Amino acid sequence: MKASFALLIVAIAGCLAASAMAVGNGVPLTACGNVIGARWVFPHSGGKMTGRKYGVTANGVSCALARHYAVKLSSAKLAGKIAGHSYPLAGGPKGYTCHANPDANGKLLAGSCQVGPLTAVSKHVFSWGGRP
């Protein structure tokens, strides 16, 4: 079980990278707690690691906005996408660019949205990821 949890942390780390870049620019990282969203199944766990809880963080964005979109976007479908990779995600707040990582069933496991393109460092970022 410890190995599966470590893999989950690695998968979520990609989505939280944008948050880390914002922190490096002096924007304080805010832990926004957990939300309940769509069911996810962690890849490579044989269906054993699953849940509906997502941890949310925000930088330069209200926790209310971050939590709202984490729940809303958790039901996105990423069918046919490869677990461990990041893909564009529609439906985020106006002016934000969003990307997400699929779970074992082509649904969302983790995601991140920021103002501007993902190639630029943004001071307005929020992320969410499945929590066991």
pLDDT 10s digits, 14-41: 444 444 444 445 556 799 999 999 999 9
Per-residue pLDDT of 57-75, as tens digits, reads 999 999 999 999 999 999 9
**Residue whose structure tokens are 């949205």:** 113
CB distance 40 to 107 below 8 Å: yes
User: What is the model's pLDDT at position 62?
Assistant: 96
Q: Which residue has the higher pLDDT, 88 or 13?
A: 88
Residue 72 to residue 42: CA distance in whole angstroms: 19
Residue 79 to residue 87: CA distance in whole angstroms: 11
Domain boundaries, given as residue ranges, for the chain: 2-131
Q: For 93, how many CA atoms within 13 A lie in the half-sphere containing its CB?
A: 20
Per-residue pLDDT band at 99 (split at 50, 70, 90): very high
Q: Quick check: pTM over 0.85?
A: no
